[in-house]
Structure 1
């Protein structure tokens, strides 16, 4: 085992092991009286919070590979400098990624049932990348119903439908502004982008299945929170480089936890996204409506990523997801199938099966 994999292995063991810590066998010390049991609602809330914290910490470790987590303390001065720089930003068009030019037209088109496929195709045709991706998806096994390939934008729009079109549009328009060149954490951008796509899909499905809000607005939540994470990391890297300081897991995790949603909210405002998106991205938003959809979706996306990368098995991931509030078991099962798929096999599942 190499020096870089050993700390990571110990981290995953600590993170995913079951049971309670073993009590120390100190003699001569009186055991304190057991605390009164928590109220059922309070206990459920704490269990949900613990599950979210486990998943969030695991996602951070995955995104920051290959740097091992050796338990270094958070550099509070570096986090403070990053926070000060983020707060000092003039959050206008000049200091944010450029809003995709076609965004307002496309949002209006896909939300208007009277908009014809011809008009929607004409708007999409202005963007070669969007055109190519729409045709590719329309010809994928999920949508293609004939042997003859789909080579017309209008046919593609009709075939994919408004729901599929929304997913294609939002993903293709946002991906270019989420690129981050980072030598220290080379896979950070790809992990965050993959998480944003999964969270976007899960938030939209959760809003639709539970009635928590507009599914299209929920879809933008997943994408903007991913962009917020990229912008926070970009600022953290810049402050660390100026001070010639290394970035450890604790420092990066603290900065991302504290600032991802506030920065995402500024992006939503600058891009003139629907008001419910701004409100749900507020750190102080109540855990209901679209804010709940985002919370559940981020956990689902993280659990799926951890399974796909062989960090944990599906049974362990689902055990954590079942603690989340506002999601009945039947809805959770549907969301998991949509986000993760039934046929996904992971390294952790294979190892568990071989040991069984």
Structure 2
């Protein structure tokens, strides 16, 4: 299964020189391509490798070690996914259906949203924390109530904050072994979600729905890691998958798990469509807001974390936006990440 940058497969043809077939599934499967497209595919693959290296805190040579293709843990993961029997798949949040219906309404009023959120105390606490985070806070004023959050952020803003508040508890680390991965996956997911939201706004598309779908790959990554750990606890290998095995599992199953999440949560058909476009774009298809958001968010998170990424001019090659809009979104994400770092430092 190709990685989340696989949209390039729809833009490219076969390279003029024959390419040896990879011995194992890759995070990015080279498509038929012309020379320019082949170059772009390599850039996307490099960025994806750097992302996995950072998420797993592992050097590239450890990620690229060749695990056994017939590893029983991979086979069991695939079996569970095929049978929709993944034990670690997050269940549908109780308030999600009502929230989705309310937030998608063009006539929803502020008081209605406030009442729905206040009916769930846990959601209320999460929402206020996230609304006051650098990723969403507007100005220096501290938001103290749900009604104030709705007023300050507006209907569109509160939609994204609510989605983040619903998903955040699912991505909280359960133990020290997964703590770093969970922390980084959340930071990456939130950045990609904001980037996807910004790209959708440039295209005049549904921003809040794109925010949700932009968060889903990060949740899928953590779900896959947890499922592998659960499988490992019942074998002699132990609960912690090695980086090469986890890399292979993520590459193969990230999009199927996203689709399984969307189905389990009863998300509208357009969410499934956006995920499918990112996984299997039609030939010569334009880039999707989700794909561009993932590219922009990944590049900025890696740059902010002082990891290897892509120079700006190479990023421009991959994004389906004018350079000035791409640069504007990149700068906005950089500001959010820097303010987040400063806020963390002040708390310490």
Q: Select 1:301's aligned residue among 275, 297, 302.
A: 297
Which ranges in structure 1 are unaligned for 5 or more consecutive residues? Answer: 1-33, 346-356
Could you tell me which residue of structure 1 aligns to residue 8 of structure 2?
Answer: none
* Of 150, 153, 160, the match for 2:153: 160
CA shift for structure 1 position 187: 0.9
Measure the CA separation in 1 of the matches of 2:319 and 2:222: 28
Match of 2:226 among 217, 225, 234: 234
* Correspondence for 1:117: 110
Structure 1 residue 104 corresponds to structure 2 residue 100: no
Find the counterpart in structure 1 of residue 236 from structure 2: 244
Structural mapping, 1:227-306, within 5 Å? 227-245=219-237, 247-282=241-276, 283-286=279-282, 288=285, 292-306=288-302
In 2, the alpha carbon distance for the partners of 1:208 and 1:325 equals 15
User: Partner residue of 1:209?
Assistant: 202
Q: 1:132 aligns with which of 122, 125, 136?
A: 125
User: 1:137–1:128: structure 2 CA closer, same or farther, 3 Å change rule?
Assistant: same
Q: Which residue in 1 is equivalent to 2:182?
A: 189
SS in 2 for 1:101: coil
For residue 78 of structure 2, the aligned residue among 83, 91, 111 is 83
2:26 maps to none
Q: Which protein, 1 or 2, shows the higher relative CO under an 8 Å CA cutoff with sep ≥ 6?
A: 2
- How many residues in Structure 1 have an aligned counterpart in Structure 2? 300
- Report the 3-state secondary structure (helix = DSSP H, G, I; strand = E; otherwise coil) of the residue aligned with 1:229: helix
Any idea what the Cα deviations from partners look like across 1:97-143, whole Å, max 9, x if unmatched?
Answer: 12122212222222323222111111111122432344456667843
Q: Does the aligned pair in 2 maintain the 1:51–1:323 contact within 8 Å?
A: no
2:47 aligned to 42, 52, 55, which one? 55
Would the aligned equivalents of 2:193 and 2:210 in 1 still touch at CA under 8 Å? yes
TM-score (norm. length: structure 2):
0.75
Distance 1:138 1:263, change over 3 A: closer
CA distance in 2, matches of 1:200, 1:185: 22
Structure 2: how far apart are the matches of 1:337 and 1:100? 33
- Give TM-score, length-normalised by structure 1: 0.74
Unaligned runs of at least 5 residues, structure 2: 1-15, 19-32, 340-348
Select between 258-267 and 155-164 the one with higher mean Cα deviation: 155-164
SS class of match (2:196) = helix
Confirm or deny: 8 A CA contact 2:214 2:290 kept in the other structure.
yes
The Cα of 1:214 is off from its aligned counterpart by: 2.1
Deviation at 1:248, TM superposition (A): 3.2
- 1:176–1:330 CA distance, 2 compared to 1 (3 A): same
Closer, same or farther in 2 for the Cα pair 1:219/1:318, shift >3 Å? same
- Aligned match of 1:15: none
